[in-house]
Amino acid sequence: MDDDSRLAIHQVTFLPQWSFRESIEGLARHGVTCTAIWRDKLHEIGVGEGAMILADHGMKVTGLSVGGLATSPDPRAWQAAVDDTRRAIEEASRIGADHVVMLSGGLEAGSKDVSGARQRALEAVGRVVPDARASGVKLGLEPLHPMLCEKRAVLCTLKQANEWCELLDDDPAVGIVVDTYAVWWDPALEEEIAKAGPRICAFHVNDWLSDTRDLRLDRGMMGDGVIDIPWIRRAIERSGYWGPCEVEIFSERDWWRRDPDEVVRVIKERTRTHV
Ligand code: ZN
């Protein structure tokens, strides 16, 4: 991708190295003007202070991660997840984020009821749509790779995300987050991206390493793995999305151990050559 102005970097890419403030200052120092926010980091510093730091650096915010995670069959636990998502929407609004990244959640320990979990997750999204609409914050449904179905997301294909949008009457407050790591394997990818069209509210980029050791925390730098990222980007652009390309790398064994200034430099190079 040759348009540097579309580059966004999620602050989780420097999770152990940089504090909230350091990540915003660091990105600004490298000329990156758009980021995504990790709620734990925001809570460490406080929402008011976080909003001020973002504003002081003219930093745009795509998503706030995460809301949702409402699959529990226990009504109290389910309600607590819905309430937490409401707080996430309010926080997103205060920091000027475009959307809350909504993960559906996985299976409760001991449960085998995948379809019930899906139903409850979808119902939770429907429950907070009015809050999102009132705050002007979108709910970005992010399917994860099916290998994470049990742990993190019973919403695991783009087709399912499109179906959920339809079931929610295509409310403009509900969008879809496409993450290369989650969708690259899908034989229906091109077709489902085209179908998603204006629903797409974010595009997350990172690579799938051929010797992946951890399904959540071993994501690769663009160009180091097997995903044809430019192909996916072009499919997304054909569907009408020209927003930020957001680098999001959870990498316990590699990038989280490096000097974060070096990480940003590599991301900028690889975005030009491999996104
Ligand atoms: Zn993502």
Q: What pLDDT is attached to residue 221?
A: 98
143 Cα–ligand 1 center, Å: 8
Q: What pLDDT is attached to residue 175?
A: 98
96 Cα–ligand 1 center, Å: 19
Please report which residue ranges of the chain form alpha helices under DSSP H: 20-29, 39-45, 47-56, 75-94, 114-135, 158-167, 180-183, 189-196, 229-238, 260-274
The phi, psi pair for 185, rounded to 5°, reads: -80, -10
65 Cα–ligand 1 center, Å: 9
Average pLDDT of the chain? 98
39 Cα–ligand 1 center, Å: 14
248 Cα–ligand 1 center, Å: 6
142 Cα–ligand 1 center, Å: 7
Q: Give pLDDT tens digits along the chain (275 positions).
A: 989 999 999 999 999 999 999 999 999 999 999 999 999 999 999 999 999 999 999 999 999 999 999 999 999 999 999 999 999 999 999 999 999 999 999 999 999 999 999 999 999 999 999 999 999 999 999 999 999 999 999 999 999 999 999 999 999 999 999 999 999 999 999 999 999 999 999 999 999 999 999 999 999 999 999 999 999 999 999 999 999 999 999 999 999 999 999 999 999 999 999 99
179 Cα–ligand 1 center, Å: 5
27 Cα–ligand 1 center, Å: 19
Q: What angle, rounded to 10 degrees, do the helices at 229-238 and 189-196 form? A: 40
- pTM over the 0.75 mark: yes
Q: What pLDDT is attached to residue 49?
A: 98
249 Cα–ligand 1 center, Å: 9
- How far apart, in whole angstroms, are the C-alpha atoms of residue 216 and residue 87? 25
Q: What pLDDT is attached to residue 114?
A: 98
